[in-house]
Amino acid sequence: MNRDIVCIGAGYIGGPTMAVIAKMNPDRKVIVVDINAERIAAWNSEDYSIPIYEPGLVDVVKEVRGRNLFFSTDIKGTVQQCDIVFVGVNTPTKMFGRGSGRASDLQYWEATARSIKEYANGDKVVVEKSTLPVRTAAAMEAILNDHASYSFTVLSNPEFLAEGTAIKDLLEPDRVLIGGPETEEGHRALEAVVDVYAAWVPRERILTTNVWSAELTKLAANAFLAQRVSSINAIAGLCEATGADVDEVARVVGADRRIGPKFLKAGPGFGGSCFKKDVLNLVYLCETFGLHTAAEYWMGVIKMNQHQQERIVSRLFSAMFNTLANKKIALFGFAFKADTGDTRETPAATVARLLAEEHVRVTVTDPKALDNARRDLADLSGVVYEADEYKAAEGADAIVLMTDWRHYPTLDWRKIYDSMRKPALVFDTRNCLDAAELKQIGFRVLNVGK
Ligand code: UDX
Ligand code: ADP
């Protein structure tokens, strides 16, 4: 087996992961391929205008591109050249037919598996990086090994990186998980992939399991995280009703070492490409196996999340005298969290849509996600996109802070207040601004869970 690696799919998972693998394995050639030529051209661009924004990523690409990291559209040639094939193609939630709205759409994965089989000129280790439903590896192995001239071993190596901290998560992972079949070939393949990570990850943090455990662990880990966010948001509603303060509750609950302080921040609900998709996948799996109560349990996590955005708009409605028509509301932040331009499943989009239904004049501002916002809300007429926060706020009746961009607390809020229509309202859904200071300036202030 040679040591060179190809990754099919140059997206959020493939790009950063392979960049770090190349950085930490200078003796291996790492080639990222994609059917999207424009995307590959961006990865190869001379001015490093790479297709995704991720802190620290461009520095890694500058260091390794052309040294041992390459981007190419030549899928065939590259698959032939490398014995280890990572697959990081997109697996969105299926929006048609069986399992619509719940199951993963596996057409890209299957197309990829078929091209690997078609192009292969020797045995290959195929590593799932995309999040896939449990037992996909088995299905893929069946496709790959059916009347095949070569042998294919499918491993599962789910990615736990979070956007915005991807490079750090990759360089210092809590754990790396690799699942492989319990056969002699499987063990050999597993060792080959363990080797890739052992170049920088302490061996005890590289956990190996069987393939199905690895596939299910990815869903379970994201479902647990999403469930924590929904749990604290469920408490937030109660806090608002009773006069408790959700940040205080979270601080004390999180001080119990069995619970821990992370992922207890109340807010507008979780977004991002993974949480909803993975929880829905889990729901679909439970239903498939007749575990209806478990399916309902996990579905509750999603329902709670949607409810959170509806609640934000309801509270705005009451606070703005039960009419929003023709009022101007500026959404501060459109990305699903800070430090990313990604807007997939962003709560801000749901809030923008709910506001548009009320005939609000919506203005969106975001330092990194304005182009994506324009694309995501293209069907809504009248939305204004404004990069400058001060201009976005001019004449507005309310500001709804949706994303916890670090510079928002440092804006000149007095200047913002002066330019707004009175009474001026700030709904800080991330609880990241200094509410006392805002009130002193003259703002009416709403928070989540207070
Ligand atoms: C997540 C997982 O963390 C990662 O391990 C997995 O591989 C992919 O999915 P990501 O979606 O990039 O990563 O972001 P994350 O930081 O986990 O946040 C997800 C969402 O939850 C964001 O919208 C965030 O604002 C929200 N969140 C997170 C909260 O509302 N409160 C919290 O306490 C934490
Ligand atoms: P993820 O977040 O899972 O990385 P992205 O959508 O960011 O998802 O990236 C997936 C990438 O996979 C896209 O750039 C897409 O063009 C690529 N892709 C999808 N299907 C194929 C395929 N059959 N062959 C090669 N690349 C593919």
pLDDT digits (tens, 9 = 90+) for 99-142: 888 777 888 888 999 999 999 999 999 999 987 777 788 888 88
Query: Are 263 and 114 part of one and the same domain?
Result: no
| Catalytic choice (82, 239, 274, 432) | 274
We report the CATH number of the domain holding residue 74 as 3.40.50.720
In a domain, 232, yes or no: no
Tell me, rounded to whole angstroms, the distance of Cα 52 from its chain centroid. 12
Query: Are 96 and 174 part of one and the same domain?
Result: yes
Which atom from ligand 1 is nearest to the alpha carbon of 161?
7
Please, which pLDDT band fits residue 165 given cuts at 50, 70 and 90?
very high
In a domain, 230, yes or no: no
Tens of pLDDT, residues 360-397:
999 999 999 999 999 999 999 999 999 999 999 999 99
Please, which pLDDT band fits residue 46 given cuts at 50, 70 and 90?
very high
Please, which pLDDT band fits residue 278 given cuts at 50, 70 and 90?
very high
Query: Are 186 and 328 part of one and the same domain?
Result: no
Query: Would the CB of 88 count as within 6 Å of ligand 2?
Result: yes
Query: Would the CB of 10 count as within 6 Å of ligand 2?
Result: yes
**Stretch 61-82: mean pLDDT, rounded?**
97
Protein residues whose CB sits closer than 6 Å to any atom of ligand 1: 159-163, 222, 225, 229, 263-265, 267, 270-272, 274-275, 336-337
Query: Are 204 and 251 part of one and the same domain?
Result: no
Distance of alpha carbon 402 from alpha carbon 332, whole angstroms: 6
Query: Are 195 and 316 part of one and the same domain?
Result: no
Number of domains in the chain: 2
Residues 6+ apart with CB under 8 A from 229: 263, 265, 267, 269, 270, 275, 305
Q: What is the pLDDT of residue 100?
A: 84
Residues 6+ apart with CB under 8 A from 84: 1, 3, 4, 5, 6, 124, 125, 127, 192, 193, 196
Query: Are 427 and 289 part of one and the same domain?
Result: yes
Tens of pLDDT, residues 304-318:
999 999 999 999 999
Q: Map tokens 């880990």 to a residue.
A: 221
**Stretch 14-33: mean pLDDT, rounded?**
97
Distance of alpha carbon 429 from alpha carbon 434, whole angstroms: 12
Query: Are 191 and 256 part of one and the same domain?
Result: no
In one-letter notation, the amino acid at residue 365 is: T
Please, which pLDDT band fits residue 163 given cuts at 50, 70 and 90?
confident
Q: What is the pLDDT of residue 120?
A: 95
Tens of pLDDT, residues 190-244:
999 999 999 999 999 999 999 999 999 999 999 999 999 999 999 999 999 999 9
DSSP secondary structure code for residue 102 in this structure:
T
Q: Rounded to the nearest 5°, which phi and psi values hold at 96?
A: -150, 160
Distance of alpha carbon 143 from alpha carbon 238, whole angstroms: 51
Distance of alpha carbon 428 from alpha carbon 96, whole angstroms: 37
Query: Are 188 and 250 part of one and the same domain?
Result: no
In a domain, 228, yes or no: no
Q: Map tokens 């070492």 to a residue.
A: 257
Q: What is the pLDDT of residue 101?
A: 80
Domain final residue, candidates 154, 180, 209: 209
Q: What is the pLDDT of residue 321?
A: 96
Distance 251 CA to ligand 2 centre (A): 39
Q: What is the pLDDT of residue 279?
A: 96
Distance 109 CA to ligand 1 centre (A): 24
In a domain, 444, yes or no: yes
Is the model's pLDDT at 93 over the cut of 80?
Answer: no
Query: Are 179 and 253 part of one and the same domain?
Result: no
Binning the chain into helix, strand and coil, the percentages to the nearest 5 are 45, 15, 40
Is the model's pLDDT at 52 over the cut of 90?
Answer: no
**Stretch 80-91: mean pLDDT, rounded?**
93
Tell me, rounded to whole angstroms, the distance of Cα 232 from its chain centroid. 20
Is the model's pLDDT at 246 over the cut of 80?
Answer: yes
Which residue has the CA at smallest separation from atom 7 of ligand 2? 11
Is the model's pLDDT at 16 over the cut of 90?
Answer: yes
Q: Map tokens 């050639």 to a residue.
A: 29
Domain hosting 178: range is 5-209
Residue 290, Ramachandran bin (φ over 0: left; ψ between -120 and 50: alpha; else beta): left
In a domain, 73, yes or no: yes
Distance of alpha carbon 61 from alpha carbon 70, whole angstroms: 10
Query: Are 308 and 427 part of one and the same domain?
Result: yes
91 or 236, which is more confident? 236
Query: Are 181 and 293 part of one and the same domain?
Result: no
Active site annotation includes 274: yes
Q: What is the pLDDT of residue 263?
A: 97
In one-letter notation, the amino acid at residue 243 is: G
Top mutation candidate among 225, 302, 306, 339 for ligand 1, by most atoms within 8 Å of CB: 225
Q: What is the pLDDT of residue 1?
A: 83
Domain final residue, candidates 183, 209, 235: 209
In a domain, 119, yes or no: yes
Top mutation candidate among 17, 337, 340 for ligand 1, by most atoms within 8 Å of CB: 337
Top mutation candidate among 12, 17, 35 for ligand 2, by most atoms within 8 Å of CB: 35
What is the pLDDT of the chain when averaged over all its residues? 95
Distance of alpha carbon 418 from alpha carbon 399, whole angstroms: 13
What is the token pair recorded at 431? 């609880």
In a domain, 428, yes or no: yes
In a domain, 50, yes or no: yes
Contact 270, 163 (CB under 8 A): no
Query: Would the CB of 268 count as within 6 Å of ligand 2?
Result: no
Q: What is the pLDDT of residue 30?
A: 98
Query: Are 313 and 397 part of one and the same domain?
Result: yes
